[in-house]
Amino acid sequence: MAFTNPIWLWGLTGLLVPISIHLLSRKEGKVIRVGSIRHLEDSTTKQFRSLRLNELLLLLLRCCVIALVVLLLSGLHFNTDANQQRHWVVIEAGLEKDTDIAKVLDSLTQQGFEAKQLSAGFPPIDSATASPLPYWTAIEALKQKSLQRVVIISHNRVADFRGKRIALPTNMQWIVKESAPKTFPLHAIRLSSDSVSIRTGKSTSTLTTFQDTKVSLSPGDTYFHHEKDSVSIDKPDTVALEIASDKEFYYDQLILVASLEALKQTLPVVLTWKTVSAQDLTSGTSASWLIWLSDKKIPAGARHYIALQSKSLRHSGPLFAQREELDNASGWTITRRLNEDIALEEKLPLQLASILFPNKRDNLRAAQHDQRMQPEKTQWSTETQSDTDASTPSRKDHAPASPLLAFAAIAMLVTERVVAYKRNQ
Protein backbone atom coordinates (compact mmCIF):
# COMPACT_ATOMS: atom_id res chain seq x y z
CA MET A 1 0.00 0.00 0.00
CA ALA A 2 1.31 3.44 -0.93
CA PHE A 3 0.14 6.99 -1.59
CA THR A 4 0.67 9.13 -4.69
CA ASN A 5 0.05 12.42 -2.80
CA PRO A 6 0.73 11.61 0.87
CA ILE A 7 0.52 15.28 1.89
CA TRP A 8 -3.29 14.95 1.74
CA LEU A 9 -3.10 12.61 4.76
CA TRP A 10 -2.93 15.75 6.89
CA GLY A 11 -6.62 16.02 6.06
CA LEU A 12 -7.28 13.27 8.65
CA THR A 13 -6.98 15.98 11.28
CA GLY A 14 -10.48 16.95 10.07
CA LEU A 15 -11.79 14.02 12.14
CA LEU A 16 -11.55 16.33 15.15
CA VAL A 17 -14.45 18.39 13.81
CA PRO A 18 -17.29 15.78 14.10
CA ILE A 19 -15.82 14.48 17.36
CA SER A 20 -15.82 17.98 18.87
CA ILE A 21 -19.37 18.63 17.65
CA HIS A 22 -20.64 15.40 19.23
CA LEU A 23 -18.82 16.16 22.49
CA LEU A 24 -20.37 19.60 22.85
CA SER A 25 -23.87 18.81 21.67
CA ARG A 26 -26.65 17.66 24.05
CA LYS A 27 -29.79 15.88 23.03
CA GLU A 28 -32.99 17.69 24.00
CA GLY A 29 -35.20 15.87 26.59
CA LYS A 30 -38.66 14.57 25.77
CA VAL A 31 -41.48 17.04 26.61
CA ILE A 32 -44.46 15.57 28.58
CA ARG A 33 -47.51 17.76 29.04
CA VAL A 34 -49.26 17.54 32.46
CA GLY A 35 -52.34 19.30 33.76
CA SER A 36 -50.87 20.38 37.08
CA ILE A 37 -47.51 20.25 38.85
CA ARG A 38 -49.11 20.43 42.32
CA HIS A 39 -48.45 16.76 43.06
CA LEU A 40 -44.89 16.77 41.62
CA GLU A 41 -41.99 16.95 44.04
CA ASP A 42 -39.03 19.24 43.43
CA SER A 43 -35.73 17.56 42.76
CA THR A 44 -32.21 18.81 42.12
CA THR A 45 -31.29 18.80 38.40
CA LYS A 46 -28.40 16.44 37.72
CA GLN A 47 -25.78 18.29 35.71
CA PHE A 48 -23.34 16.70 33.27
CA ARG A 49 -20.22 16.02 35.30
CA SER A 50 -18.16 15.58 32.11
CA LEU A 51 -18.48 15.78 28.35
CA ARG A 52 -19.86 12.60 26.81
CA LEU A 53 -20.19 11.39 23.23
CA ASN A 54 -23.67 10.72 21.97
CA GLU A 55 -25.03 9.23 18.75
CA LEU A 56 -21.99 7.00 18.30
CA LEU A 57 -23.28 5.42 15.07
CA LEU A 58 -23.76 8.82 13.47
CA LEU A 59 -20.32 9.95 14.65
CA LEU A 60 -18.73 6.83 13.18
CA LEU A 61 -20.43 7.40 9.81
CA ARG A 62 -19.26 11.02 9.63
CA CYS A 63 -15.70 10.09 10.54
CA CYS A 64 -15.69 7.39 7.87
CA VAL A 65 -16.86 9.87 5.20
CA ILE A 66 -13.99 12.26 6.04
CA ALA A 67 -11.41 9.45 6.14
CA LEU A 68 -12.51 8.02 2.79
CA VAL A 69 -12.37 11.45 1.07
CA VAL A 70 -8.84 12.04 2.44
CA LEU A 71 -7.64 8.61 1.24
CA LEU A 72 -9.16 9.29 -2.17
CA LEU A 73 -7.29 12.63 -2.48
CA SER A 74 -4.01 11.10 -1.29
CA GLY A 75 -4.03 8.57 -4.15
CA LEU A 76 -4.12 5.33 -2.21
CA HIS A 77 -2.97 2.33 -4.26
CA PHE A 78 -1.84 -1.21 -3.58
CA ASN A 79 1.45 -2.57 -4.98
CA THR A 80 0.99 -5.67 -7.09
CA ASP A 81 4.56 -6.21 -8.33
CA ALA A 82 7.02 -8.12 -6.19
CA ASN A 83 9.91 -6.37 -8.02
CA GLN A 84 9.23 -3.32 -5.85
CA GLN A 85 11.22 -4.99 -3.09
CA ARG A 86 14.10 -6.22 -5.29
CA HIS A 87 17.60 -4.75 -5.68
CA TRP A 88 19.71 -4.81 -8.85
CA VAL A 89 23.37 -4.16 -9.55
CA VAL A 90 23.74 -3.38 -13.27
CA ILE A 91 27.30 -3.63 -14.57
CA GLU A 92 28.77 -2.78 -17.96
CA ALA A 93 29.98 -5.84 -19.88
CA GLY A 94 33.61 -6.68 -19.14
CA LEU A 95 33.84 -4.78 -15.85
CA GLU A 96 32.99 -7.90 -13.84
CA LYS A 97 36.53 -9.15 -14.64
CA ASP A 98 38.13 -6.15 -12.93
CA THR A 99 39.54 -7.06 -9.50
CA ASP A 100 38.20 -4.00 -7.66
CA ILE A 101 34.77 -4.22 -9.32
CA ALA A 102 34.58 -7.96 -8.57
CA LYS A 103 34.92 -7.20 -4.85
CA VAL A 104 32.13 -4.61 -5.02
CA LEU A 105 29.97 -7.05 -7.00
CA ASP A 106 30.49 -9.83 -4.45
CA SER A 107 29.59 -7.50 -1.59
CA LEU A 108 26.37 -6.37 -3.27
CA THR A 109 25.27 -9.88 -4.22
CA GLN A 110 25.73 -10.94 -0.58
CA GLN A 111 23.32 -8.16 0.35
CA GLY A 112 20.66 -9.60 -1.95
CA PHE A 113 21.36 -7.65 -5.16
CA GLU A 114 20.73 -9.40 -8.48
CA ALA A 115 23.62 -8.95 -10.96
CA LYS A 116 22.54 -7.75 -14.42
CA GLN A 117 24.31 -6.62 -17.58
CA LEU A 118 24.06 -3.02 -18.77
CA SER A 119 22.65 -4.33 -22.06
CA ALA A 120 19.34 -4.61 -23.85
CA GLY A 121 16.89 -6.56 -21.68
CA PHE A 122 19.30 -6.53 -18.69
CA PRO A 123 20.33 -10.22 -18.94
CA PRO A 124 22.16 -11.96 -16.07
CA ILE A 125 25.80 -11.05 -15.67
CA ASP A 126 27.02 -14.54 -16.66
CA SER A 127 25.04 -14.71 -19.92
CA ALA A 128 26.29 -13.85 -23.41
CA THR A 129 26.89 -10.15 -24.02
CA ALA A 130 23.83 -8.49 -25.56
CA SER A 131 23.51 -5.19 -27.40
CA PRO A 132 24.88 -2.39 -25.17
CA LEU A 133 22.49 0.35 -24.09
CA PRO A 134 23.29 4.08 -24.06
CA TYR A 135 23.42 5.22 -20.45
CA TRP A 136 20.44 7.59 -20.49
CA THR A 137 18.36 5.01 -22.37
CA ALA A 138 19.29 2.41 -19.74
CA ILE A 139 18.16 4.71 -16.92
CA GLU A 140 14.75 5.19 -18.57
CA ALA A 141 14.42 1.41 -18.98
CA LEU A 142 15.38 0.79 -15.34
CA LYS A 143 12.78 3.30 -14.16
CA GLN A 144 10.11 1.07 -15.67
CA LYS A 145 11.27 -1.89 -13.55
CA SER A 146 10.07 -0.28 -10.28
CA LEU A 147 13.05 -1.55 -8.30
CA GLN A 148 13.65 -0.41 -4.74
CA ARG A 149 17.36 0.20 -5.30
CA VAL A 150 19.70 0.04 -8.30
CA VAL A 151 23.50 0.32 -8.42
CA ILE A 152 25.00 0.94 -11.90
CA ILE A 153 28.72 0.37 -12.55
CA SER A 154 30.05 1.72 -15.85
CA HIS A 155 33.02 3.24 -17.68
CA ASN A 156 31.14 6.52 -18.16
CA ARG A 157 32.39 6.87 -21.73
CA VAL A 158 31.40 9.99 -23.63
CA ALA A 159 30.27 7.96 -26.65
CA ASP A 160 27.66 6.09 -24.58
CA PHE A 161 25.83 9.23 -23.45
CA ARG A 162 23.34 9.56 -26.30
CA GLY A 163 19.86 11.01 -26.42
CA LYS A 164 18.21 13.49 -24.08
CA ARG A 165 19.99 14.20 -20.81
CA ILE A 166 17.93 13.17 -17.78
CA ALA A 167 18.23 13.38 -14.00
CA LEU A 168 19.50 10.39 -12.02
CA PRO A 169 16.58 8.97 -9.98
CA THR A 170 16.96 9.01 -6.23
CA ASN A 171 16.87 5.22 -5.88
CA MET A 172 19.83 4.76 -8.26
CA GLN A 173 23.54 5.02 -7.52
CA TRP A 174 26.09 5.48 -10.33
CA ILE A 175 29.61 4.09 -9.79
CA VAL A 176 32.34 4.95 -12.31
CA LYS A 177 35.37 2.80 -13.14
CA GLU A 178 37.98 4.91 -14.93
CA SER A 179 39.45 3.14 -17.94
CA ALA A 180 43.19 2.78 -18.37
CA PRO A 181 44.78 4.73 -21.26
CA LYS A 182 44.71 2.76 -24.50
CA THR A 183 46.96 2.92 -27.55
CA PHE A 184 45.62 1.35 -30.73
CA PRO A 185 46.37 1.24 -34.47
CA LEU A 186 43.83 3.12 -36.58
CA HIS A 187 44.99 2.30 -40.11
CA ALA A 188 48.01 1.31 -42.15
CA ILE A 189 48.58 2.61 -45.69
CA ARG A 190 51.17 1.15 -48.08
CA LEU A 191 53.30 4.00 -49.46
CA SER A 192 55.89 1.91 -51.28
CA SER A 193 57.11 -1.65 -51.43
CA ASP A 194 58.91 -1.33 -48.08
CA SER A 195 57.27 1.74 -46.49
CA VAL A 196 53.95 1.94 -44.63
CA SER A 197 52.24 4.95 -43.06
CA ILE A 198 50.81 4.02 -39.65
CA ARG A 199 48.25 6.09 -37.79
CA THR A 200 47.98 5.22 -34.10
CA GLY A 201 45.61 6.66 -31.55
CA LYS A 202 45.99 7.18 -27.82
CA SER A 203 42.85 7.65 -25.76
CA THR A 204 42.69 8.62 -22.08
CA SER A 205 39.83 9.63 -19.80
CA THR A 206 40.13 13.25 -21.00
CA LEU A 207 41.65 13.24 -24.50
CA THR A 208 42.08 11.20 -27.69
CA THR A 209 45.03 12.02 -29.98
CA PHE A 210 46.43 10.53 -33.21
CA GLN A 211 49.94 10.30 -34.59
CA ASP A 212 51.24 9.36 -38.05
CA THR A 213 54.54 7.52 -38.44
CA LYS A 214 56.33 5.75 -41.26
CA VAL A 215 57.69 2.25 -40.67
CA SER A 216 59.54 -0.24 -42.86
CA LEU A 217 57.67 -3.44 -43.63
CA SER A 218 58.38 -6.07 -46.25
CA PRO A 219 56.13 -6.26 -49.32
CA GLY A 220 54.73 -9.58 -48.10
CA ASP A 221 53.31 -8.11 -44.88
CA THR A 222 49.54 -7.64 -45.08
CA TYR A 223 48.89 -6.71 -41.45
CA PHE A 224 50.43 -4.29 -38.99
CA HIS A 225 50.49 -5.65 -35.43
CA HIS A 226 50.47 -3.41 -32.38
CA GLU A 227 50.43 -5.07 -28.96
CA LYS A 228 47.29 -7.30 -29.03
CA ASP A 229 45.67 -5.47 -31.92
CA SER A 230 46.27 -5.37 -35.64
CA VAL A 231 45.00 -3.65 -38.79
CA SER A 232 45.25 -4.61 -42.45
CA ILE A 233 47.70 -2.74 -44.68
CA ASP A 234 45.63 -1.04 -47.38
CA LYS A 235 46.39 0.82 -50.55
CA PRO A 236 46.10 4.61 -50.41
CA ASP A 237 42.79 6.16 -51.40
CA THR A 238 42.77 7.70 -54.85
CA VAL A 239 40.70 10.76 -55.69
CA ALA A 240 40.75 12.67 -58.99
CA LEU A 241 39.26 16.17 -59.10
CA GLU A 242 38.37 18.64 -61.79
CA ILE A 243 38.28 22.31 -60.80
CA ALA A 244 36.10 24.43 -63.07
CA SER A 245 35.94 28.16 -62.35
CA ASP A 246 35.09 31.56 -63.80
CA LYS A 247 37.39 34.60 -63.70
CA GLU A 248 35.56 36.22 -60.76
CA PHE A 249 36.31 33.12 -58.66
CA TYR A 250 40.00 32.99 -59.52
CA TYR A 251 41.21 33.87 -56.01
CA ASP A 252 38.88 31.26 -54.46
CA GLN A 253 40.44 28.72 -56.82
CA LEU A 254 43.94 29.62 -55.60
CA ILE A 255 42.90 29.07 -51.95
CA LEU A 256 41.36 25.67 -52.77
CA VAL A 257 44.41 24.52 -54.76
CA ALA A 258 46.70 25.54 -51.88
CA SER A 259 44.56 23.49 -49.46
CA LEU A 260 44.67 20.48 -51.79
CA GLU A 261 48.45 20.79 -51.99
CA ALA A 262 48.59 20.71 -48.19
CA LEU A 263 46.47 17.53 -48.14
CA LYS A 264 48.63 15.88 -50.78
CA GLN A 265 51.76 16.55 -48.75
CA THR A 266 50.42 15.36 -45.39
CA LEU A 267 47.95 12.52 -46.07
CA PRO A 268 48.80 9.05 -47.40
CA VAL A 269 46.49 9.47 -50.40
CA VAL A 270 46.75 9.81 -54.14
CA LEU A 271 45.21 13.17 -54.96
CA THR A 272 45.20 14.59 -58.49
CA TRP A 273 43.38 17.50 -60.09
CA LYS A 274 43.21 19.66 -63.15
CA THR A 275 41.77 23.14 -63.66
CA VAL A 276 39.50 24.16 -66.52
CA SER A 277 37.25 27.04 -67.39
CA ALA A 278 33.63 26.64 -66.30
CA GLN A 279 32.31 27.72 -69.71
CA ASP A 280 34.27 24.93 -71.40
CA LEU A 281 32.81 22.23 -69.13
CA THR A 282 29.27 21.54 -70.35
CA SER A 283 28.95 17.75 -70.46
CA GLY A 284 29.98 16.79 -66.94
CA THR A 285 33.27 15.27 -65.83
CA SER A 286 34.90 11.88 -65.62
CA ALA A 287 36.74 12.79 -62.40
CA SER A 288 35.65 11.50 -58.99
CA TRP A 289 34.77 15.01 -57.82
CA LEU A 290 33.94 18.28 -59.53
CA ILE A 291 34.80 21.56 -57.80
CA TRP A 292 32.51 24.11 -59.41
CA LEU A 293 33.37 27.79 -58.90
CA SER A 294 30.81 29.51 -61.07
CA ASP A 295 27.29 30.95 -61.02
CA LYS A 296 26.42 28.87 -64.07
CA LYS A 297 24.34 25.71 -63.70
CA ILE A 298 26.27 22.69 -62.48
CA PRO A 299 26.72 20.14 -65.31
CA ALA A 300 24.29 17.24 -65.13
CA GLY A 301 27.01 14.58 -65.34
CA ALA A 302 28.61 15.50 -61.98
CA ARG A 303 27.73 12.95 -59.29
CA HIS A 304 29.91 14.36 -56.53
CA TYR A 305 30.69 18.04 -56.42
CA ILE A 306 31.71 20.99 -54.26
CA ALA A 307 30.17 24.23 -55.54
CA LEU A 308 30.80 27.89 -54.77
CA GLN A 309 28.04 30.11 -56.19
CA SER A 310 26.81 33.59 -55.34
CA LYS A 311 23.28 32.35 -54.59
CA SER A 312 24.62 30.01 -51.86
CA LEU A 313 26.64 32.59 -49.93
CA ARG A 314 25.82 33.24 -46.27
CA HIS A 315 27.21 35.52 -43.59
CA SER A 316 27.38 32.90 -40.85
CA GLY A 317 27.07 29.18 -40.22
CA PRO A 318 29.23 26.25 -41.36
CA LEU A 319 31.60 26.83 -44.27
CA PHE A 320 30.31 23.69 -46.05
CA ALA A 321 26.64 22.74 -46.37
CA GLN A 322 25.56 19.37 -47.76
CA ARG A 323 22.66 19.10 -50.18
CA GLU A 324 20.88 16.45 -52.24
CA GLU A 325 19.73 17.04 -55.80
CA LEU A 326 16.78 15.45 -57.58
CA ASP A 327 19.00 13.78 -60.18
CA ASN A 328 20.75 11.74 -57.45
CA ALA A 329 23.84 13.92 -57.53
CA SER A 330 25.18 14.54 -54.04
CA GLY A 331 27.35 17.47 -53.21
CA TRP A 332 28.40 20.30 -50.96
CA THR A 333 28.17 24.05 -51.26
CA ILE A 334 30.73 26.53 -49.95
CA THR A 335 28.81 29.24 -48.10
CA ARG A 336 31.46 31.99 -48.06
CA ARG A 337 34.05 33.48 -50.41
CA LEU A 338 37.51 32.09 -49.68
CA ASN A 339 40.62 33.93 -48.54
CA GLU A 340 43.60 33.22 -46.28
CA ASP A 341 41.77 34.18 -43.08
CA ILE A 342 38.77 31.96 -43.85
CA ALA A 343 41.05 29.05 -44.74
CA LEU A 344 42.91 29.31 -41.42
CA GLU A 345 39.90 29.95 -39.18
CA GLU A 346 37.75 27.20 -40.71
CA LYS A 347 40.65 24.71 -41.13
CA LEU A 348 39.82 24.38 -44.81
CA PRO A 349 42.26 21.49 -45.57
CA LEU A 350 40.77 19.35 -42.78
CA GLN A 351 37.21 20.02 -43.93
CA LEU A 352 38.16 19.12 -47.50
CA ALA A 353 39.78 15.89 -46.25
CA SER A 354 36.62 14.87 -44.36
CA ILE A 355 34.53 15.41 -47.51
CA LEU A 356 36.85 13.86 -50.09
CA PHE A 357 38.08 10.96 -47.93
CA PRO A 358 35.23 9.93 -45.62
CA ASN A 359 36.57 6.89 -43.80
CA LYS A 360 33.71 5.37 -41.81
CA ARG A 361 35.82 2.39 -40.84
CA ASP A 362 38.40 4.61 -39.14
CA ASN A 363 35.67 6.58 -37.39
CA LEU A 364 34.06 3.38 -36.11
CA ARG A 365 37.38 1.99 -34.92
CA ALA A 366 38.27 5.22 -33.13
CA ALA A 367 34.85 5.24 -31.43
CA GLN A 368 35.33 1.64 -30.22
CA HIS A 369 38.62 2.57 -28.53
CA ASP A 370 37.49 5.95 -27.19
CA GLN A 371 38.24 6.08 -23.44
CA ARG A 372 37.10 9.65 -22.79
CA MET A 373 34.77 10.03 -19.81
CA GLN A 374 31.82 12.35 -19.40
CA PRO A 375 32.47 14.99 -16.69
CA GLU A 376 30.24 14.48 -13.67
CA LYS A 377 28.90 18.05 -13.84
CA THR A 378 27.44 17.47 -17.31
CA GLN A 379 26.45 13.84 -16.82
CA TRP A 380 22.99 14.34 -15.35
CA SER A 381 20.26 16.93 -15.63
CA THR A 382 19.60 19.08 -12.55
CA GLU A 383 15.83 19.11 -13.09
CA THR A 384 13.68 18.01 -10.14
CA GLN A 385 12.36 14.49 -10.44
CA SER A 386 8.65 14.21 -11.21
CA ASP A 387 6.09 11.65 -10.12
CA THR A 388 7.45 9.29 -12.77
CA ASP A 389 10.71 8.93 -10.83
CA ALA A 390 11.93 5.35 -10.51
CA SER A 391 11.51 5.56 -6.74
CA THR A 392 7.75 5.75 -7.29
CA PRO A 393 6.05 2.56 -8.50
CA SER A 394 5.02 2.73 -12.14
CA ARG A 395 1.32 2.89 -12.83
CA LYS A 396 1.26 -0.56 -14.38
CA ASP A 397 2.71 -2.07 -11.17
CA HIS A 398 0.02 -0.91 -8.73
CA ALA A 399 -3.74 -1.20 -8.44
CA PRO A 400 -5.43 2.18 -7.80
CA ALA A 401 -8.05 2.20 -5.05
CA SER A 402 -9.78 5.38 -6.27
CA PRO A 403 -12.96 3.79 -7.73
CA LEU A 404 -13.56 1.71 -4.59
CA LEU A 405 -12.90 4.65 -2.28
CA ALA A 406 -15.19 6.92 -4.28
CA PHE A 407 -18.04 4.38 -4.15
CA ALA A 408 -17.53 3.78 -0.40
CA ALA A 409 -17.48 7.54 0.34
CA ILE A 410 -20.76 8.11 -1.54
CA ALA A 411 -22.40 5.13 0.20
CA MET A 412 -21.28 6.37 3.63
CA LEU A 413 -22.51 9.89 2.90
CA VAL A 414 -25.96 8.62 1.86
CA THR A 415 -26.16 6.39 4.96
CA GLU A 416 -25.11 9.28 7.23
CA ARG A 417 -27.83 11.55 5.78
CA VAL A 418 -30.52 8.88 6.27
CA VAL A 419 -29.49 8.21 9.89
CA ALA A 420 -29.20 11.94 10.66
CA TYR A 421 -32.69 12.58 9.26
CA LYS A 422 -34.30 9.79 11.26
CA ARG A 423 -32.58 10.86 14.50
CA ASN A 424 -33.15 14.54 13.88
CA GLN A 425 -29.45 15.25 13.91
What does DSSP say about strands 76-79 and 2-3: parallel, antiparallel, or unpaired? antiparallel
pLDDT of res. 389: 47
pLDDT of res. 392: 46
Say if CB 320 and CB 335 are below 8 A apart.
yes
pLDDT of res. 424: 73
- Indicate the average pLDDT of the chain: 84
Tens-digit pLDDT profile for residues 165-175: 889 998 999 99
Q: How crowded is residue 112: how many other Cβ atoms within 10 Å of its Cβ? A: 10
Task: State the pTM of this model.
Answer: 0.60
- Which CATH number is associated with domain 238-356? 3.40.50
Q: Is the pLDDT of residue 204 over 80?
A: yes
Say if CB 187 and CB 160 are below 8 A apart.
no
Which has the closest alpha carbon to 178: 374, 394, 399? 374
Domain 82-178+373-392: CATH architecture, name and number where available: 3-Layer(aba) Sandwich (3.40)
Tens-digit pLDDT profile for residues 85-120: 689 999 998 888 888 899 999 999 999 999 999 998
pLDDT of res. 388: 42
**Residue extents of the structural domains in the chain:** 2-28+50-78+399-422, 82-178+373-392, 182-234, 238-356
Beta-bridged to residue 347, according to DSSP, are: none
Fold agreement (82-178+373-392, 238-356): yes
Alpha helices in 25-180 (DSSP H): 56-73, 99-110, 135-143
d(CA 347, CA 259): 9
Q: Find the helix or strand (DSSP H, E) in which 198 lies.
A: strand 195-203
Tens-digit pLDDT profile for residues 111-120: 999 999 999 8
Q: How crowded is residue 260: how many other Cβ atoms within 10 Å of its Cβ? A: 22
pLDDT of res. 83: 46
Measured in residues, the chain has a length of: 425
What mean pLDDT comes out for the span 287-307? 88
